[in-house]
Structure 1
Amino acid sequence: METTSSVTKYTWDAMPREQLSDQLSRRLITGQDVMLAHVYLKQGCIVPLHHHINEQITYILEGALRFHIGAADGEEIIVRAGEVLHIPSNVPHMAEALEDTLDVDIFSPPRQDWLDKSDDYLRKK
C-alpha cells in the first residue's frame, strides 16, 4: 500500500487474504463510502441466503456463480467471467460457485459486518 496525500494505491497480491472457510476467502479495500473486495470461492462453495442494506455490484473475473434472487428457490441467474450482476439494497440472495471463481464485489456503503467480522453466515466451517 502506497499513500500520497489523501490518495492510496493498493496491490491485490500484497493485501492480506482473510480465510473465512475452507472454500471462501477475500481481500478488502475500503474507502469512506465504498468497499471493493476480491472474493475467492472454490467450486461448490455456497454463500447462504442473506440480504444487506448495501447496494452490491458483482463482477466475475474467473469462473461462474449461480445466484438465487429473492429466496433459495427464487429467480436463478448464472453470472460468468466478464459478466456483472447488480443487486439493489435489501434484496435477498444466495450464490453457489459452479467452478473455482474470483469475483470483484463492490458495496456502497461499505459492509460493516465484513469490517467488524460479524458476518457469521459466511464463517461456517
Structure 2
Amino acid sequence: MTKNAEHFRWTDRPVEVILGGVTRRYINSEKMMIGEVRLRKGDLVPLHAHPNEQFTFVVSGAMRFWCGKDDVAGTLVGAGEVIIIPADLPHRAEVLEDTLEYDIFHPPRMDWIDGESNLLSS
C-alpha cells in the first residue's frame, strides 16, 4: 500500500469560534490531530476531559492549567513551553495573556471533527 504525504496551509483551514471569541482550526490524519487555538487574556477553558492524549505547545502568551482533582496551584505554561495532559485527566485553564497555542492529540478529537465539542459556543 502506497501512502502519500499531504501538505496544508493554516490560512486555508476553516476557523471555528469557540468559547465566545476563542478561535481554533485544525488538521488531522487518521492517527493524529493538531489544532491552532487563539485565546484572549481572561478567557477560561472550563473543566473537561477527553479520551485523547494532549500536548499543548504555547507559542506566545501564557496560560495556567489545573489538571486532576488534587492540582490546587496549577501549572504556568508560557511561550516556548509544553504541557502534556494524559487521556481522561480532567483539566481546565485560565488565559493570563493573549495566547497562541497548538494542541496535538492522539487519537484525533472526533468531537472536533464531528462538530460536537462541548466547548463550542452556541
Determine the C-alpha separation between the residues in 1 that align with 2:80 and 2:56: 10
Alpha-carbon distance, 1:118 to partner: 1.2
Q: Aligned partner of 1:102: which letter?
A: L
Which residue does 1:22 correspond to in 2?
A: 20
Determine the C-alpha separation between the residues in 2 that align with 1:74 and 1:34: 31
Contact in 1 for aligned 2:54/2:86 (Cα 8 Å): yes
SS at match of 1:8: coil
Provide runs of 4+ in structure 1 moved above 2 Å: 71-75
> Would you say how many aligned residue pairs link Structure 1 and Structure 2?
120
CA RMSD in angstroms comes to: 1.7
Structure 2 unaligned residues grouped into runs of 5+:
none
Q: Kindly tell me: are residues 75 and 102 of structure 1, through their superposed partners in 2, closer, same or farther at Cα, counting changes over 3 Å?
A: same
Contact in 2 for aligned 1:72/1:94 (Cα 8 Å): no
Q: TM-score, normalised by structure 1?
A: 0.88
Determine the C-alpha separation between the residues in 2 that align with 1:73 and 1:104: 23
SS at match of 1:7: coil
Asked if 1:117 corresponds to 2:115, the answer is yes
Structure 1 unaligned residues grouped into runs of 5+:
none
**CA shift digits 1:39-92 (9 cap, x unpaired):** 111111111001111000000001011101113964400100000000111111
Asked if 1:45 corresponds to 2:38, the answer is no
1:107 alignment partner, one of 97, 105, 108: 105
Q: TM-score, normalised by structure 2?
A: 0.90
Asked if 1:11 corresponds to 2:9, the answer is yes
Which residue does 2:84 correspond to in 1?
A: 86
Q: Point out the more displaced range, 30-39 or 69-78.
A: 69-78
